[in-house]
Amino acid sequence: MTDGEDRRSSKTGGTRDALADRRGLEREVYQPAEDSRLLAEAAVDHARGRTLEVGTGSGWVAERIAAETDAEVVASDYNPAACRQARDRGLQVVRADLVEPFRDGSLDTVAFNPPYLPTDPDNEWDDRMERALSGGESGREVIDPFLDTVGRVLRPGGRVLLLVSSLTGFDSVVARAEANGFAVSTVRQESYPFEVLSILRLDR
């Protein structure tokens, strides 16, 4: 079992001690795991033009997009520690809650690996790593408002690359995206012992 898989299985186990064990020494910024790699691969193939990675964490995915494509990349995160790590990679970084500060119609591509692990409210922690991991009881507490607002910042023909876990309810995410006017296709998918990870491409 890889570190990323173990991190996810411990989180879904719902015990405070298991989550604390998986945090190890990193308590500030989400570090690359299998989900990061999957999003990066999809973004290298599908990102174009002015590209934003929302919730960049360490900046690893945005750095790969910048290095391996012709896209003009900007990264954002709500966590100031994540912004610092991403800037240390030489990225243009904005501290932001989802897409709130970006202008209407200013982006061609938006990539997002959201906090998606369903979490029992009794087991939640009030810290930065919790914000990076927990998607609330449904796993969609961050995904739903993202889908409701991301269309505003896209240029005509713009696209979104969104990582979705089977733990969050794949069909529910697709339905929400379609209700917001997106055509949905799956461009990457991998199975793990505890979940299936998919990258959805959402086109306006």
Residue 165's φ and ψ, nearest 5 degrees, are -100, 145
Q: Give the integer Cα–Cα distance in Å for 71 and 36.
A: 18
Q: Give the integer Cα–Cα distance in Å for 73 and 50.
A: 6
pTM of the model: 0.84
Tell me the residue range of the domain where 26 lies. 3-203
Domain count of the fold of the chain: 1
CATH number at residue 103: 3.40.50.150
* pLDDT, one tens digit for every residue, the chain (204 residues): 344 434 444 334 443 443 444 445 456 888 888 999 999 999 999 999 999 999 999 999 999 999 999 999 999 999 999 999 999 999 999 999 999 999 999 999 999 999 877 776 655 555 555 565 666 778 899 999 999 999 999 999 999 999 999 999 999 999 999 999 999 999 999 999 989 999 999 998
Structure tokens at 194: 């505890």
Which pairs with CB-CB distance under 8 Å and at least 24 residues apart come from 18-26? 19/123, 19/125, 23/129, 26/129
